[in-house]
Amino acid sequence: MKKNIKVAVVQHGCNTDYNANLDKSVTGIHEAGELGADIVLLPELHTLPYFCVSEDVRNFDLAESIPGPTTRVLAKHAQDLQIIIVTSIFEQRAKGIYHNTAVVIDKNGSIAGSYRKMHIPDDPGYHEKFYFTPGDQGFVPIETSVGKLGVMVCWDQWFPEGARLMALASAELLFYPSAIGWDINDTEEEKVRQRNAWMTIQKSHAIANSLPVIVSNRIGHENDPTEKTRGANFWGSSFIAGPQGEILAKAPIDKADVIIAEIDAGKTDTIRRIWPYLRDRRIDAYHDIVKRHIE
């Protein structure tokens, strides 16, 4: 980043109507553009209901190629508004290979790069291992006209390793498009712990790497069409944090919103001079990080 930039996040709810979802995303992108944003982040799988709530082969029909219908629509708006769009696509890469993919569209409408979700969750209501082949590109920042973006996706947010690898590879901003919510059966206390943990772990990636972190999420309740679960309540709370984990902007839990913050281009370098974690990493002693468990 050569100069300060403005980063925005669009937060909205999604349902089974692709066009209505995409319209909400585009409306948010335009709002971000009017606010002067250089980059806008959309929620994970923002054109679709969170179909991973159940396992149904028909849902593979929702996937598209990259480039494809959604990236083509967004490319036009990126170019019109001269804004970088970080979008999220259910990607069909080949017959039988589907990914949960973040795509970065640069200001000129070209695809700057993509990131295929590396860590794939699977728990009741989040059956992602059924749909998504784990990414095989590793943690590689995407070069854009304003800087290098370390884009990951949702479940990746719980793994300090991904953020660290993006930082070591010169990412200047970290992005986590998300679709995360509460189980309706959880107690209020448990809900508070989960949302706080989600904010804390992502702020910690900012702190550990002295990088701004930009997080999106969807809002609202979505039913489980199989009625095996009571569906999920997505908790919104999109936020932008600076390189000390300080909150620069945040969205509410339950309302659509567009948030924006200015990122100080020099601050990562300033912070890393006086809090020089990258200087002091014990790279001679981390080799067991690649083990599943240390016996």
Q: How far is the CB of 123 from a copy of itself (least distance, A)?
A: 6
CB 231 within 8 A of CB 53: yes
Q: Would you count residue 188 as binding a copy of itself (CB under 8 A)?
A: no
Nearest to a copy of itself of 25, 210 (CB atom): 210
Interface with a copy of itself, residue 134, by CB under 8 A: yes
**Residues 237 and 252: beta-carbon distance below 8 Å:** yes
Q: Total residues contacting a copy of itself (rule CB under 8 A)?
A: 52
- Would you count residue 270 as binding a copy of itself (CB under 8 A)? no
Query: Which is the catalytic residue, given 6, 14, 24, 44?
Result: 44
Among the listed residues 74, 72, 137, the one whose alpha carbon sits nearest the alpha carbon of residue 101: 137
Q: Quick one: tokens of 26?
A: 């585009």
Torsion of CA 104, 51, 12, 238, to 10 degrees: -70
155 touching a copy of itself, by CB under 8 A: yes
Question: Residue from 86, 118, 152, 259 that binds a copy of itself (CB under 8 A)?
Answer: 118
Q: How far is the CB of 125 from a copy of itself (least distance, A)?
A: 11
Beta bridge partners of 240: 214, 249
**Stretch binding a copy of itself (CB under 8 A), from 31-39, 82-90, 102-110, 167-175:** 167-175
Does 246 qualify as catalytic in the annotation?
A: no
Site membership for a copy of itself, residue 184 (CB under 8 A): no
Closest separation in Å from C-beta 288 to a copy of itself: 6
Q: Does 160 bind a copy of itself (CB under 8 A)?
A: yes
Contacting range for a copy of itself; rule: CB under 8 A; set: 34-42, 194-202, 224-232, 260-268: 194-202
Query: If we measure between CA atoms, which residue out of 150, 65, 72 comes closest to residue 110?
Result: 72
Q: Contacts with a copy of itself in 217-256 (CB under 8 A)? A: 244-246
> Contact 14/50 with Cβ under 8 angstroms?
yes
Burial class of residue 11, CB neighbours in 10 A (0-12, 13-18, 19+): buried
**Sign, Cα dihedral of 48, 50, 197, 121:** negative
Tell me whether residue 203 is one of the annotated catalytic residues.
no
Q: Is 287 a binder of a copy of itself (CB under 8 A)?
A: yes
CA 265 – CA 65 distance, rounded (Å):
34
Nearest to 77 by CA among 7, 26, 146: 26
Question: Looking at the annotation, which residues are catalytic?
Answer: 44, 117, 154
Where on the chain is the footprint of a copy of itself (CB under 8 A)?
A: 118-121, 123, 134, 138-139, 155, 158-162, 164-165, 168-170, 193-194, 196-197, 200-201, 203-204, 207-208, 244-246, 274-278, 280-294
